Amino acid sequence: MDILKKIIEAKRKELRGLKQKKPVSLLERMPAFQSPVISLEERFRKGGSNGIIAEFKRRSPSKGIINDVASVTEVVSAYQQFGAAAVSVLTDKEFFGGSSEDLIAARSVLQIPLLRKEFIIDEYQVIEAKAMGADLILLIAACLTKEEVWKLSRTAVGLGMEVLLELHDEKELEHICTDTVHIGINNRNLNSFSVDIERSLLMAEKIPSEKFRIAESGISRPEQIGVFSKHGYDGFLIGENFMKEENPGEAFRNFAGQIKEVLQ
């Protein structure tokens, strides 16, 4: 069984317990559920951002522990301070060491868009994301049908949130719909977790021009940002490159400074 299938099987089991422990009626009473959403779309349209969606990530199935000592509030505060367009927080516990508490903690210190990075397969998780304080959610085409993407996207937009739809190859382009404003191209194959940095470049011209393009995974050099920008990318989701360092916030600051030189 490939890694993605293992994750989705575990997620289905996890959801059965969550729905009993914390029903939708309880989620809808949480303070953040009524809070206004901060729009990444508006942030991109205004310009002036370096486009980086900086990620807080404790570990991964392919790399194991990346950073299990960093404080989520300290790291994401630094991301915000040094110019991130948005912040992404992993909430999957079994495979990535994340938690809902990480996202809630991040929300408490952020005034920029917050992405819930999760393997979302059920409307319950969309409602849960809003209750945690997320501004946008990730939907992964590789583990959803076209109809599921459309349904989950409609739910998210109905709650005021935005959607980042992650694709990996051409056959997933049909998952794009009106409500998927942001389209991410993952350089990492979620079945094998191997990385091919050329993936985003090959897919760039296939994404509808009205969508915001976001390159994901395997980005480690400022020069890569310059190449992606020339191919029409608006955003760049980067996590491991910062989180592997002893001080992720300082690593982000240095990287952001180098990007300014590249994009001049």
Is 50 in the active site?
no
Catalytic residue (one of 118, 128, 172, 216): 216
Determine how many CB atoms are found less than 10 A away from the CB of residue 68: 10
Among the options 11, 60, 100, 117, which is catalytic?
A: 117
Active site residue 19: no
Choice among 57, 67, 162, 172 that is catalytic: 57
For residues 78 and 72, give the distance between their C-alpha atoms in angstroms, rounded to a whole number.
10
Options 50, 55, 118, 200, the catalytic residue? 55
Are the C-beta atoms of residues 78 and 255 closer than 8 Å to each other? no
Answer whether 107's CB lies under 8 Å from 132's CB.
yes
Output DSSP code: residue 52: E
Quick check: is 67 catalytic? no
Catalytic residue among 118, 166, 172, 240: 166
- Distance in angstroms (rounded) separating the CA atoms of residues 144 and 208: 20
User: Among residues 153, 186, 187, 189, which one is catalytic?
Assistant: 186
55 in active site: yes
To the query of whether residue 186 is one of the catalytic residues in this protein, the response is yes
In this structure, the strands spanning 64-65 and 59-60 are antiparallel
Residues assigned a catalytic role: 55, 57, 117, 166, 186, 216-217
